[in-house]
Amino acid sequence: MTLSSQRRSRHRERFALALLHGAIRATLVGGSAAGLALAAPFAMAAEPAAGAKSYAIAAGPLSDVLAQYAATAGVQLVFEQSTLAGLRSSGLQGSYGEAEGFAQLLRGSGFEVVKQGGATYVLRKLPAANPAAAASTAASDMTLNTVTVTAAAHRSGTTEGTGSYAATQSSTSSKLNLSQRETPQTLTVITREQMDDAGMTSVDDALRAVSGVFAVDGGSIGSNYYSRGFSMQAQVDGMATPSGIDSGNRSPKFDSAFVDRVEVLQGAAGLLAGAGSPGGTVNMVLKRPTDTFQAQGEVQLGSWKERRLVGDVSGPLIDSGVIRGRLVAVSDNSESFTDYVYRDRYAGYGIVEADLGPTTTLSASVQLQKDTSRGHFGVPLAADGSDAGLSRSSFWGDADHRSVRDYNIYTVGLSQQLAGAWSLKANYAWQKTNNDIENFSSLSGSLNPVTGDGLFIGSRQRNYTSVMHANVVDVYATGPFDFLGRRHELTLGINGTSYRDENAGTGYSSTTPINVYTFDPEGLGPVPDGLRASTSKTKTSNMGAYGVARWSLTDSLKLITGTRISNYERKNTLTGVVAPKEKGVVTPYAGLVYDINSQYSAYFSYSDIFNPQTNRSQDGNVLDPVVGANYEVGIKGELLNKRLNVSAALFRLAQSNLAVLDSSVPNNPSNACGGACYTAAGKVVSQGIDLGVNGQVSRELNLAAGYTYTSAEYVAGPQKDQRFRTEQPRHSMRVAANYQLPGTQWSLGGNVSATSKAYKNGGSGANAWTIEQGALVLVGLNAKYRITPKTQLNLVVSNLTDRSYRHLYGREYAPFGEPRKFSANLRHDF
């Protein structure tokens, strides 16, 4: 490259970064999706060598950065740790060949690497300028005391650019930065590489790739997600999201373009969540700004007129690099295999980080997403639950229906390094979800498939709005301390949410009988004005303080203990009634991890979580909270120089204090309980096994596989000995793999999802019904071709065999799963 071309490249890069700076500023100040539009002639860097891989390794100690690079490149690096003491690296972003990446990282350090054959490199000092010095250096190189062989990943946890299905660390369970092997609970991480290979465009897609997590699709209202029989909490960057990920008018389907990884912790997680359900926690970890300039653009086309555009630009905003920014913008529009159904999505994410000093970093971010759609609930089944023979493309609703969902998160954070290797992190987020629905309708009744009669269009509503405003805080300090001659770790923090829910609806109409063979979605007509309206307003607070310590009992044995004290309150702001209200609820946590050797650890853990109730006993008191307690024992391993994570676990989850109707007290409005009275006598036990493998089996092969068996049943109460949540299959297997063909620009991959039979029943006597979904196997394939070192084409097909299947949401609505789908994604790195 000539001097003039280098200058032009630098000018283009500065121009692109100036646009990034302006766009982020417009986003943070204006808060509009328009401010997130990407339109910039990005800088072109020099072409890397053939066989290059993309990297996004954050700055840090040179030894750590080299270790992460070696792990990502799939090579071994031999060096003495002490030789790099005090040296730092700005990290590595972009596409590099194996040796080229080492050279870039070691530039100006006084060191180089020498390949020793195969996939092994040795670090040594650069040869001196004169023979005497060279001889001295050579002698020094030959007398190293100890040698460290490492390919360990950097503990920042970032997966973007690693090219791996393995994650290095997570703080989802306890705020302690622990590797998967050090975490005494089942933890699955869907990395950026796995999402890209499989063509995932939403967090929904990522969750469906986790063994033991089941999605029950509810059509327009979204999906319900369960783990070990129970629903799950949601977090963004470790902060609670009250809107959640489950079904509900306020719940968004998060786009994956902003996400570095999705961490799924299975089992009760009350230490950090406070009140909630014991199924587990989904933590969506967002992308961060990079220390050097990088940018990429994507164009994706797919079945049902899918059109998706993604722009992602990141880098320093000033020459010193102490202020960094990142901007991601998404436009995703698609129709559906179902008639009348469509979705238009516009989303943006902007973040700025500023180093206020050597130990202080301030950050601010905005996440915006707006989905406009016409949805549906699914296709009805016959009165007895059998298939009525209706097409999976048929639409059963109002053709004038429209739903607009806005989801916004504004976050500010401060990270402060303290004395004694301690650190303090403080984050605040303001979240808002707004759902505006027009011409809503639903089905009821029992379908006679012979005549086509028996169903009614009901619950028609002219307008319905649901708004939630949430304030979320997360403040904690973590660091080491010495006790009885050993070093331990401690985290102390407070976190929680306070949010307001407001729901209002206007214009209702009575039910309208339909015949499924003559029904016209465009013939329902408008919903009359002036009919009854509905309004509800609530305010909920879920706050707590916690402490967790990791005790180093011996070099091989670690004990984790923690406690949370929570306050919970829910108030009806229209009536002033406060119920439920819980103060000083204690949530314990304990885990024991024993290192069997340098690769395997055995563990045991106990965790629980509480969920307040609103039902009352005959004396008028609110029932005690439902408590979900999770017991888990297992083995975890880090193989192939920590490139491959393996795990096996046995779990038992017991949910007690479930409300049971008190048959000894007749239903009477004059009762102290207000009518029907309850006792906290129900109990459910879920138990089973989890197996998992995630990471790089070899330099060319990535693998993510898991198997889960779950058996859940009532062990107390009127439903004792009956199966719990029969719509969730007992057996689940997920396998995903991707293989880089040696010596070519092609990589081939695929995924398999297999579940056992599931069913759901209802009614009684002559009106009893059962809906079923038999054992199901879904297959997907993907092929990626690297056109140039910076440009790649990814072809994806899902449901390869075009299997027809149902989500067991209900008899009137049992949505079909997505048929065979094709997509092509063209991506260019700048």
For the chain, list the domains and their CATH numbers.
59-153 (3.55.50.30), 187-285 (2.170.130.10), 286-829 (2.40.170.20)
Question: How far apart are the C-alpha atoms of 633 and 650, rounded to whole Å?
Answer: 5
The reported pLDDT for the residue numbered 37 is 35
Smallest Cα–Cα separation from 241: which of 75, 471, 47? 471
pLDDT in tens, 76-86: 787 765 577 66
Is residue 146 predicted with pLDDT exceeding 80?
Answer: no
Is residue 817 predicted with pLDDT exceeding 70?
Answer: yes
Secondary structure class of 83 (helix, strand, coil): helix
Minimum mean pLDDT range among 77-86, 270-279, 635-644, 712-721:
77-86
- Determine the average pLDDT of the residues in 428-456: 92
Q: What is the DSSP letter of 34?
A: G
What are the φ and ψ backbone dihedral angles of 617, each rounded to 5 degrees? -85, 175
Is residue 726 predicted with pLDDT exceeding 60?
Answer: yes
The reported pLDDT for the residue numbered 142 is 35
Is residue 775 predicted with pLDDT exceeding 80?
Answer: yes
Question: How far apart are the C-alpha atoms of 410 and 491, rounded to whole Å?
Answer: 25
Secondary structure class of 9 (helix, strand, coil): helix
- Determine the average pLDDT of the residues in 753-781: 94
The reported pLDDT for the residue numbered 6 is 47
Is residue 29 predicted with pLDDT exceeding 80?
Answer: no
Q: Tell me the percentage of the chain whose pLDDT exceeds 70.
A: 86
* CB contact at 8 A, 500 and 468: yes
Q: What region does 237 belong to: left with phi over 0, alpha with psi -120 to 50, or beta?
A: left
Question: How far apart are the C-alpha atoms of 773 and 102, rounded to whole Å?
Answer: 53
* CB contact at 8 A, 684 and 677: no
Smallest Cα–Cα separation from 189: which of 164, 167, 208? 167
Q: Residue 425: how many CB atoms within 10 A of its CB? A: 17
Question: How far apart are the C-alpha atoms of 221 and 223, rounded to whole Å?
Answer: 7
Assigned token pair, 126: 């650069």
pLDDT in tens, 777-788: 999 999 999 999
Question: How far apart are the C-alpha atoms of 565 and 670, rounded to whole Å?
Answer: 36
Secondary structure class of 691 (helix, strand, coil): strand
Smallest Cα–Cα separation from 750: which of 782, 787, 722, 725? 782
pLDDT in tens, 573-625: 989 988 889 999 999 999 999 999 999 999 999 999 999 998 999 999 999 99
Q: Which residue has the tokens 């770790």?
A: 489
pLDDT classification of 210: cutoffs 50, 70, 90: very high
Assigned token pair, 138: 């050579």
Residue 561's beta-bridge partner residues?
A: 549, 590
Chain centre distance of CA 388 = 36
Secondary structure class of 106 (helix, strand, coil): helix
Q: What CA–CA distances, in Å, run from 541 to 26, 278, 493, 614?
A: 33, 19, 17, 15
Name, in order, each residue with C-beta under 8 angstroms of 130's C-beta and a sequence gap of 6 or more. Answer: none
- Determine the average pLDDT of the residues in 736-742: 96
Q: Residue 412: how many CB atoms within 10 A of its CB? A: 13
- Determine the average pLDDT of the residues in 451-476: 91
- Report which residue type is found at 130: N
Q: Tell me the percentage of the chain whose pLDDT exceeds 90.
A: 64
Question: How far apart are the C-alpha atoms of 452 and 446, rounded to whole Å?
Answer: 10
* CB contact at 8 A, 220 and 403: yes
Question: How far apart are the C-alpha atoms of 421 and 478, rounded to whole Å?
Answer: 9
Is residue 350 predicted with pLDDT exceeding 60?
Answer: yes
- Determine the average pLDDT of the residues in 101-126: 81
* CB contact at 8 A, 217 and 202: no
pLDDT in tens, 532-552: 667 889 999 999 999 999 999
Specify the pairing of strand 233-236 against strand 280-286. Answer: parallel
pLDDT classification of 131: cutoffs 50, 70, 90: very low
Q: Please tell me whether the overall predicted TM-score, pTM, comes out greater than 0.85 for this model.
A: no
The reported pLDDT for the residue numbered 224 is 79
Name the residue with higher pLDDT: 20 or 191: 191
For 368, half-sphere exposure in the C-beta direction (CA atoms, 13 angstrom radius) is 22
Question: How far apart are the C-alpha atoms of 175 and 475, rounded to whole Å?
Answer: 11
Q: What CA–CA distances, in Å, run from 688 to 264, 267, 445, 707?
A: 17, 12, 37, 11
- Letter string b/e over residues 396-408, b meaning 16 or more CB atoms within 10 A of that residue's CB: bbbebbebebbbb
The reported pLDDT for the residue numbered 804 is 96
Q: What is the DSSP letter of 403?
A: E
Q: What region does 126 belong to: left with phi over 0, alpha with psi -120 to 50, or beta?
A: beta
The reported pLDDT for the residue numbered 26 is 44
- Cite the beta strand spans of 697-756 per DSSP E: 701-716, 731-740, 746-755
- Cite the beta strand spans of 205-359 per DSSP E: 213-217, 223-227, 230-231, 233-236, 239-240, 259-266, 280-286, 294-302, 306-316, 323-335, 342-357
Is residue 221 predicted with pLDDT exceeding 80?
Answer: no
* CB contact at 8 A, 365 and 286: yes
Q: Residue 133: how many CB atoms within 10 A of its CB? A: 11
Q: At what angle do helices 98-106 and 62-73 cross, to 10 degrees?
A: 170
Q: What CA–CA distances, in Å, run from 257 to 33, 116, 409, 417, 694?
A: 15, 40, 15, 30, 22
Is residue 237 predicted with pLDDT exceeding 70?
Answer: yes
Assigned token pair, 20: 């990034």
The reported pLDDT for the residue numbered 246 is 64
Q: Which residue has the tokens 């096994």?
A: 689
Is residue 27 predicted with pLDDT exceeding 70?
Answer: no
Smallest Cα–Cα separation from 21: which of 459, 425, 315? 315
- The per-residue pLDDT of the chain, averaged, comes to 86
- Determine the average pLDDT of the residues in 23-48: 37
Secondary structure class of 142 (helix, strand, coil): helix
Minimum mean pLDDT range among 139-143, 695-699, 805-809:
139-143
* CB contact at 8 A, 69 and 101: yes
Question: How far apart are the C-alpha atoms of 611 and 580, rounded to whole Å?
Answer: 10
Q: What angle do CA 269, 272, 276 make, to 5 degrees?
A: 55
Secondary structure class of 93 (helix, strand, coil): strand
Question: How far apart are the C-alpha atoms of 42 and 34, rounded to whole Å?
Answer: 19
pLDDT in tens, 325-339: 999 999 999 999 999
Is residue 431 predicted with pLDDT exceeding 80?
Answer: yes
Question: How far apart are the C-alpha atoms of 251 and 244, rounded to whole Å?
Answer: 6
pLDDT classification of 115: cutoffs 50, 70, 90: confident
- Determine the average pLDDT of the residues in 757-770: 91
Is residue 48 predicted with pLDDT exceeding 50?
Answer: no
- Determine the average pLDDT of the residues in 446-465: 90
Name, in order, each residue with C-beta under 8 angstroms of 765's C-beta and a sequence gap of 6 or more. Answer: none
C-alpha dihedral, 653 to 166 to 780 to 706, nearest 10°: -30
Question: How far apart are the C-alpha atoms of 312 and 291, rounded to whole Å?
Answer: 15
Secondary structure class of 5 (helix, strand, coil): helix
Secondary structure class of 36 (helix, strand, coil): helix
Question: How far apart are the C-alpha atoms of 754 and 760, rounded to whole Å?
Answer: 19
The reported pLDDT for the residue numbered 572 is 92
Instruction: Give the dihedral sign, CA 816/819/824/827.
Output: positive
Name, in order, each residue with C-beta under 8 angstroms of 31's C-beta and a sequence gap of 6 or more. Answer: 366, 368, 408, 410
Q: Which residue has the tokens 């003039």?
A: 4
- Determine the average pLDDT of the residues in 274-279: 89
Name the residue with higher pLDDT: 137 or 36: 137
Is residue 18 predicted with pLDDT exceeding 70?
Answer: no
Is residue 38 predicted with pLDDT exceeding 50?
Answer: no
Question: How far apart are the C-alpha atoms of 689 and 60, rounded to whole Å?
Answer: 38
pLDDT in tens, 243-257: 777 655 555 678 999
